[in-house]
Amino acid sequence: MQRSFIREILEHIGEGVISFAGGLPDDAFFPLRELKETAIVALEDPGTLQYGSSQGDLALRKAIAGAYTRRGVPTRSEEILITSGSQQALDIICRALSLQSVSVETPSYLGALRLFEMLNISADKIELDDEGIAKEGFEQSFTYTKTAYLIPDFQNPSSLRYSRSRRKQIAQIIQEQKGILIEDAPYSELYFHRFLPPISGMIPNQSYHLGSFSKSLAPGLRIGWIRASRERIDTLLAVREAMDLHSNTLAQKMIALWLERPDAHWKHLELLRHNYRAKMLRMAEALERYLPAFRFSRPGGGMFLYGTLPGVDTRALVRACIPHGVLFVPGAEFGGDPDTIRFNYTHPSPEEIDEGIRRIAEVLGKR
């Protein structure tokens, strides 16, 4: 297997380099003081540094289960499995199900596509339309895969959000065909206007819902989770125990303590939504000013802005941009067309957004 193009690009990050490449949150909004306080409290108990439960810290599982229940998806703590990020969650599920094929969106999350490749899982790719994964294409594909991997909320890389009607249609297809949905939802709380219920909530016994604190709190904590029926969680545990026993116990207890203050967590999410929306608008305005040929739609949440530079090989363009200190990810890395680009707007500052887009336009104008 070859190295990730994105990882190669990220190696060029250094002083003076403006990166729109990684899916990084803004570290200016990490709640450092509060997390320090939770670490101090957690470390008062020596058991925090001991081996932990393979299923995860009970207090954390209860908190996550409570959040699902409040969102209209009744969930018990035994229906939650804590993982080391949602990437590991997907790995555990694929191995537990011994997947041979899976229906996926195109373009789609590179980490998932590379995992499917590594595990020799055939990914049947279905185009997106304005409402989500194309219904007819999905129904045809799902007839024989019986398993789907989807990102309905601010999809990576396209930032597309499934409509309510498309969510219902997909749930109905999965239910009727007695298949399985793996719903990846790392961006579901980063909405700018309103929350939409997950597809998994309509088919709780035929789905795995993947969540993560990487985008809503801090990626360095490496804590994610799977929500599924008790029977499915029990099956996953056998694989998880053989993989790495359990996730970081200190990080789990820190997050559990953080979630004991729901008002603080909600205010933190509101802060992210407000500031990320402002950054998205700043990038949209910079693109319209410096790169008017770039075709895109303003997303309603998430971390990315995706679009097309008609007739431009964006892989060649990013390589030309490296000496000028600006990076992005060509959409082709996710299975998109050769003239597409994914920009991350959450990590760079507003000033870097303006300057970075200006540099790209300058490079493009010289080619």
How much is the mean pLDDT over the chain? 95
Query: Helix, strand, or coil here: 183?
Result: strand
Q: Using one digit for the tens of pLDDT, what is the confidence trace for 263-309?
A: 899 999 999 999 999 999 999 999 999 999 999 999 999 999 999 99
Burial 196-234 (b: 16+ CB within 10 A, else e): bebbbbbbbebbbbbbbbbbbbbbebbbbbbbbbeebbe
Domain ranges, ordered by start, for the chain: 5-23+265-366, 32-260
User: ∠ CA(220), CA(226), CA(229), 5° rounding?
Assistant: 165
Check whether domain 32-260 has CATH 3.30.70.1400, yes or no: no
List the CATH code of the domain at 5-23+265-366: 3.90.1150.10
Walking along the chain (367 residues) 10 residues at a time, the average pLDDT comes out as: 62 80 94 96 95 96 96 96 96 96 97 95 97 97 97 97 98 97 97 96 97 96 97 96 93 96 91 98 98 97 98 95 94 96 97 97 87
Rounded to 5 degrees, φ, ψ at 339 are -105, 20
Q: Using one digit for the tens of pLDDT, what is the confidence trace for 113-122?
A: 999 999 999 9
